Structure 1
Amino acid sequence: MAAILTIARRIARMQQFRFARNPFLQSAIANSFSRSSSSNLSSFSSAFHRTGSVRSRLCTHFLRRISLKRLSTQINAQVFDFPSSETQNLIPPDQRMIDLIRRVALLDSEAHAMASLEDSSFHLNHDSLYSLIWEFRDEWRLAFLAFKWGERCGRGDKKSCELMVWVLGNHQKFNIAWCLIRDMFHGSTDTRNAMFLMMDRYAAANDTSQAIRTFDVMDKFRHTPDEEAFRGLLYALCRHGHIEEAEQFMLANKKLFPVDVEGFNIVLNGWCNIWVDVTEAKRIWREMGNYCIEPNKDSYGHMISCYSKVGNLFESLRLYDEMKKRGWSPDVEVYNSLAYVLTRENCFDEALKLVEKMKESGLKPNSVTYNSMIRPLCEAKKLEEARNVLATMINENLSLTIDTFHSFLEIVDYDRTLEVLNEMKIAGLGPKGDTFLLILRNLFKEKQPENVLNIWAEMARFDIVADPTLYLAMVQGLVTCGWLAEAREIYSEMKSKGLSGDPKLEKLLQKPVRGNVNGRKKNVRGFGASKMKGLQKQSSRESYKRQN
């Protein structure tokens, strides 16, 4: 029976992770990708009966977003924060240079393309080359063409090579990436970080065997597969959801790398913050005891985070008290987790007292602290309390984040939705494609197809180009509301742009609706509200290409 339950949990996790594994969520890996800009948000504050001015900063902390916390100091954090740590203040390349590369890429051979680039009046430097590769990160052929041009000009360096390896890995062009690493090696360029990136990209592509093989061949490139590399591999596997493989690899190599609390914490953190699987997290906790390994401060932080995410207030507070009895002072992340679970479980006053206690201990609440309370308050439709937390956040000069705006978008009416979108743009925090997916979901849920069409028209004003995810969510929602004429029109627009459609949805759109000339009907048989909810949920998780 226990084995059956284990298999069932594994299948459920794989169903969940199928939606989560996409480029949008890669941004969660890079927790420090931020952009500072001064913005007056008086309109936003006025909409919620508050005034204030804040500095906007793009923050990728969502309570339920896939992320790994407390990265071990023995792992090179900058490698796994790549490329956000490198592109934070990147100057965009000259548009004429971008257009030139796009034009020469259409020539009949690479030799002709390179000759045209070399004959141009542009002069590359290290920074402009890096910017070009980043600009073309979604089009690996153009990125590689820019990289080869930089090499011809003598501007290729370790930084650009590593970015190119990352881009190739994103597109699963691993053979080309390995050729580049070999060129780096023969050119006496350090390849250690590049190999870390390969481990990470293989794990992102669900090829764990090649990620492990990369670790095994490090010595061929004159790098010792040491403890830092070992933990780096564990981290790469866990961050992309391969936690069972990471645990097996750790235990299989315990003679070379004795198990310790740091290694177990990487695995524990995976179960707590990637899968949020309490059962597996408790098993790892017991396994640590079997190896006579004492949990440390980070171990408690991971478990408290896990229990808070599933709403287990009792266990969260019990571990919090036990942690303090052992002499470990809770950090900001622990307080953030407790603030969330207290607010979620209708103990908002206690959450506010906890924040005050946090200040008394010398810790300063951050944007995540207040977002941890705003989100569950909005989910519970407690708008006034959420406004009060927002006012406190602004008064303390803390940055509003995308999560702050999204929380309020969950509960505001249509008119205020437009106000929030405008203030997101002023703050430099979007709106993004997933913002509109959130709005579409809410409006369809409230059966407001007229307002959905208005929001669809507003997207162009915010420079949002509809992708297949947005199109399908829109068409599916209109079908559910019975607006077949509009659904067919938008579906045709999607197909005219060369985007792939949905055969089942297309077949449904071809069916006439009896008794309604305009093609509108409250429900369409075979496409119920429950199915629509699942499809919209899938769409909202599949939206990103940006990164990060």
Structure 2
Amino acid sequence: MKQSKRRHGRDRSPSPPSSKKHHHIHGKSPQRQIHDLGKHRPAFISYLESPNLPPKIKLICEIVASTPPLSVAKVLDDNGIRVTREDVEQVLKLSYGYPAAAVKFFRWAGHQLNDRHSPYAWNLVVDLLGKNSLFDAMWDAIKSMKEEGILSLATFASVFSSYVLGNRVDEAFMTFEVMDQYGVPRDIVALNSLLSAICREGKTEKADEFLRIAKDKIRLDADSFAILLEGWENEGNVAGAKRTFGEMVEEIGWDPRNVPAYDLFLCTLIKAPSGFHEALKFLNTMKERRCSPGMKFFGVALEDCVRKSDARGASLLWEAMTVRSDFRPDTQMYNMMISLHSHLANFDIARRYLDEMVYDGVFPDSKSYNTLFQYLVKSRKLDELSSVFTEMVKNEFLPTQANCTAAISLYLDSGDPYMAIKVWKFMVDNYQSELEETGNFLVLGLRDCNRVQEAVKYAEDMIERKIKLSSFTLSKLKQNLAKAGKGPVYDELFRKWKLR
């Protein structure tokens, strides 16, 4: 087969294999090509960010990282190092930042392994070179892999990714066009791999353009459209998503199994200014065709309703979810409904969602209760608040310190010192710090409610627990105790306070 030679920029474009045998990586040396990278060279994970490496692997990585490429083989030999195929793979994974030295290590290891590197190690070399934009050396490695009969789609998926990351999408397209000449089928799986590499990097428009050409030769599948739809969603391109969705329906029709594509499409729609209502329209259309999105869309849509305080929209979504038998809302979704209705002071509805969770096989968590608790305090719903607090403690869900403090303030302000004390006791039993402000507030509140005896009791308790009782609180208690003729009580309290 005649070798095709094309040039694009400084590096060779993808080309069919040569008849000449390549047992090593030839072409312009990586150490020379590395100067072309400049400041666009990506950051890679090295052995320094990988703790608990075996000593041998760490030593080899240190040699690769710190030795001039031409001296790598000698230093490795001088250290008497022997490697396995697995050792080579592990070192290469941690040597992306040193491509020239890594290639020298790879060649050196090949002599020990009788040139029987694993396909994975070869793929790592291809990826390592490509991610460093060393495309000449990358293609020499690919040709060597071809001669060894170990090329696979994974190799070309790496090449696609490297070209796209290097902002050379046209070369990724050309790689796809010639991959069958390297013995790897140019089929729908390969096409989807190419599309995925392009869309991941925010170049969905390019992928869409290529898809229009490729579909004349390769029949698209649901994954092809889902990949594009994910790209449009990530880029927030509603027009692109609508176009791709329409083409998908035309090409492959409606399919209840195509949940990811429906999910991605509706998630994109909802990002538009009036997208929620349009998404609901498409949701109804899908329902008529016995199709549905997945949990992701419902979660995103519910978040949108909570943000906009849209109880009606949330109810429509909830109904669309719960009529399906194949999945049920999870705890996070229930929490969003509890939050929405609590914010709107629909406490009966919020409480109903809290109670219904267990019937769907999910269970409330601390956030479920604390959200409701917070809004009950804000709305001064004392009876409901007391009931929720009791249930929380019984079910071992801790009210947050902020919620406890707010509840104590409300109870004292509303003339219910019993519940204020109950919440305070819970706080000191469950929290070890940041209790000073609330404790002083409780003591002063009990004093203001003419519960001076109890105020003194909890002031003494604070001192014993080493919770700082302020001098201001102490002076206020002194006034009341002096009026009641209980100076000795104050003196004893003051003595304890001084010794704290």
TM-score (norm 1): 0.46
Higher relative contact order (CA 8 A, sep 6+): 1
- More helix, by proportion: 2
